[in-house]
Structure 1
């Protein structure tokens, strides 16, 4: 679970903010646990280097240093290049306390790995490769753990999983209480097909056993399932994104759930007054959710310095418009289906609820792999797919045309 949690304090954007708060000559210090092969400390180093490069620092190597004890690595980031006196002071400090230097301007390989000797001088070579743009991509590709910099869109600093780790992680299962590097992720991966099979069994097996006249078209079930995927994916992405703005998961969860449920409920009520353009609701919602992927990073960054009460207001105002639209499709589709066959209501709820459970696991995996923007874009695709599944069935009340998805061959 630790590897699946958000850590906005250790992203590229966070390090940029820390750096910009330094006075000229000020030093930012990051200390992380040592792992072998390098993972946590390598990601912290890569994050620091990426932050400097993105701020336009021409020579990041002149402004960073790193040293290690037996258990931890400490990274130093100076605002401005190190002076000769400062470099000499770092060397004296490390020598006196028997800390091994990992990275320092002018450091040679034989000067590292002197006190806490490890085979291969791996930390020195890893940090040097990450610092060198010409070698960085090759090292990242060959590394056993994923050490790419964490970002606000993918703030999972402790998620190092790579598929080649699976055999070693499984080999440790049962021998340690916390298999490092992928145990939590493998649990989520295992739960996803289990949940999908359970959902399919609970919905499709009764569907297959139902008499033909009482069996709704699969297109109808797919539409309601896609609505469930879209809603839960958007909800999870909003909660995770607003953790940064509101400061804690509790604040984010409360604000998102209260506003989203209130506005989606209002949207459901308002569908009773829609007499035209009902079929445009889902395509419009898909566009709105997709736009959140681009708009939310800017909005959160712009509002971070505000007092908490104003940040809550900003979050609520950002959630309310999509929330209002998110409450409409299910109510519209359910009303259109029930007008033709009241027995469809139970099937609609079953498909939608089952998809929401599966979608929660899927959204977690997508967020870890492709970021929160990826979750929002896939949610938008789900709403677009629902629009295609329902087609023109969301007819204006009073229309003589029956729901298209209820038509049978």
Structure 2
């Protein structure tokens, strides 16, 4: 995000009047303007130049706010000094939850940089400001006839711009719009698309003003209600008017057909799968691989290539470390002597290693929005899981027989399943209702959610390990190795599953693995010597 020099000479800032983001000011004269992800203050400066009386800029990064306000305060003309621009340091979603609304214009700039989304660099990054739930919240915070202005970088073939359009149309329908096409207009430059959504409908006078603005500044109109297909893309041409076709499908009744037939996944995202820049469709991978040598890398996307390379590496190295004991004669005799027990040991410790990481990492992702900062959320969740899982492990020491240890492990697996299903049913509602709570209260709620689940998760490993140490101590080192390797693989696999099937799907996969431990406890006999 750039910091714009402001010497107090409005004439030197006239370029701001011709940027695509100035289009809403050509249609109306907004008094109250909200700028989300304000960054270096360009859109806030533009709103001030175009005579908005009340401008609020929300920026989550305190270092950016400090740079614009203090380090480069004179250079930026004091844009973040407080008059007329008020700066709020915080997560935009948290601000919207606490805000009463009534905004004439809400500006949401394009995420990332030009080309970053198309290359797949942000494919694995959560974006909770561009999910279906976020857009519904944004529309709710508009004043009557207010405008939401959103931007996206253009790539060829289009991806992020289409997902943005589909998300906005779906949010309009959720808000009760019977003819969403009349509430949406869009224009484009050579590198960016601007989509305007009105809480109401655009009038013929609005469309005339938008045509004049586009003609004066060299922009192409992409969509408005009543626009003909041949009118789209007169200046910036594509092989086909893909943008117009997509808007026509979204506002009509052909959205599902478009999503099914398009080579990229441009369906709206949700808070349970908030990967806005995740465009890969598995069906396109063979085609992308064939086109790699002729420039087809953008079809594959670099983020996925790196992720799957990491997963493959973890699986191969983990399998190698698990199978190495078979090359050592003494260890091989131990594993072959009781093949059924060795197989159960492999399945059991691999399952709990994978499942623990799937639950822990999916929980971190789910609570990032609630706790506002990824690093803070990771610290709280990892600490909570380690502490309460440790307490659960300590409690397993009360069992005195192998049979008791097996029952304890089964109770733990059933407890994880029950508490995990409770998470799936309650977590979304609780975090949404508690979005406006003080941070200390939020952390307490996180601990309340994590404690019983982590406690149950912590019982499975020590129970089986203690039983093995009595009945078959030679298998203990191998069990440690299997669990450790599975945990490493699970850390990568959790990201893969979250991108593909969402956080809830990741949780369900983990619960299935915990249920698998019910039939794979290493020792199946009902009797055993007393534990010491």
Structure-1-length-normalised TM-score = 0.90
Query: Aligned to 2:165, which of 9, 21, 45?
Result: 45
Q: Tell me the CA shift for residue 197 of structure 1.
A: 2.2
1:315 aligns with 2:446: yes
1:258 aligns with 2:383: yes
Q: 1:54-69, aligned counterparts within 5 Å?
A: 54-69=174-189
Q: Which runs of no fewer than 5 residues in structure 1 stay unpaired?
A: 404-409
Task: State whether residues 10 and 44 of structure 1, in contact with CA within 8 Å, keep that contact through their aligned partners in structure 2.
Answer: yes
Query: Aligned to 1:288, which of 419, 427, 447?
Result: 419
The aligned counterpart of 2:151 is: 31
The aligned counterpart of 1:407 is: none
- Give the secondary-structure state (helix, strand or coil) at the position aligned to 2:123: helix
Q: Tell me the CA shift for residue 255 of structure 1.
A: 0.7
- Which whole-Å CA distance do the structure 1 matches of 2:185 and 2:399 have between them? 63
1:201 aligns with 2:320: yes
Task: State whether residues 390 and 458 of structure 2, in contact with CA within 8 Å, keep that contact through their aligned partners in structure 1.
Answer: yes
Task: State whether residues 289 and 379 of structure 1, in contact with CA within 8 Å, keep that contact through their aligned partners in structure 2.
Answer: no
Q: Which runs of no fewer than 5 residues in structure 2 stay unpaired?
A: 1-120
Task: State whether residues 288 and 322 of structure 1, in contact with CA within 8 Å, keep that contact through their aligned partners in structure 2.
Answer: yes
- Which whole-Å CA distance do the structure 1 matches of 2:441 and 2:428 have between them? 17
- Which whole-Å CA distance do the structure 2 matches of 1:142 and 1:211 have between them? 52
| Structure with larger Rg | 2
The aligned counterpart of 2:505 is: 374
Task: State whether residues 145 and 181 of structure 1, in contact with CA within 8 Å, keep that contact through their aligned partners in structure 2.
Answer: no
Structure 1 segments, 4+ long, off by >4 Å, are 169-176, 178-181, 274-277, 391-395
Q: Tell me the CA shift for residue 165 of structure 1.
A: 4.5
Task: State whether residues 392 and 459 of structure 2, in contact with CA within 8 Å, keep that contact through their aligned partners in structure 1.
Answer: yes
Task: Give the stretch that moved more between structures: 55-64 or 17-26.
Answer: 55-64
- Which whole-Å CA distance do the structure 2 matches of 1:125 and 1:186 have between them? 30
Task: State whether residues 336 and 394 of structure 1, in contact with CA within 8 Å, keep that contact through their aligned partners in structure 2.
Answer: no
- Which whole-Å CA distance do the structure 1 matches of 2:466 and 2:272 have between them? 37
Q: 1:355-374, aligned counterparts within 5 Å?
A: 355-374=486-505
Structure that is richer in helix per residue: 1
Q: Tell me the CA shift for residue 223 of structure 1.
A: 0.3
- Which whole-Å CA distance do the structure 2 matches of 1:214 and 1:145 have between them? 47
The aligned counterpart of 2:238 is: 118
1:140 aligns with 2:259: yes
- Which whole-Å CA distance do the structure 2 matches of 1:175 and 1:36 have between them? 12
Residues 14 and 170 of structure 1: is their aligned pair in 2 closer, same or farther, counting only changes over 3 Å? farther
- Give the secondary-structure state (helix, strand or coil) at the position aligned to 1:119: coil
The aligned counterpart of 1:406 is: none
RMSD, aligned CA = 2.4
Deviation digits for residues 285-342 of structure 1, max 9, x if unmatched? 1232233223222222121122222222222221111111111111111111112122
1:233 aligns with 2:358: yes
Task: Give the stretch that moved more between structures: 255-264 or 292-301.
Answer: 292-301
Task: Give the stretch that moved more between structures: 90-99 or 237-246.
Answer: 90-99
Task: State whether residues 19 and 28 of structure 1, in contact with CA within 8 Å, keep that contact through their aligned partners in structure 2.
Answer: yes
Q: Tell me the CA shift for residue 208 of structure 1.
A: 5.8
Residues 57 and 82 of structure 1: is their aligned pair in 2 closer, same or farther, counting only changes over 3 Å? same
Q: Which has the higher contact order (CA 8 A, sep 6+)?
A: 1
Task: State whether residues 415 and 453 of structure 2, in contact with CA within 8 Å, keep that contact through their aligned partners in structure 1.
Answer: no
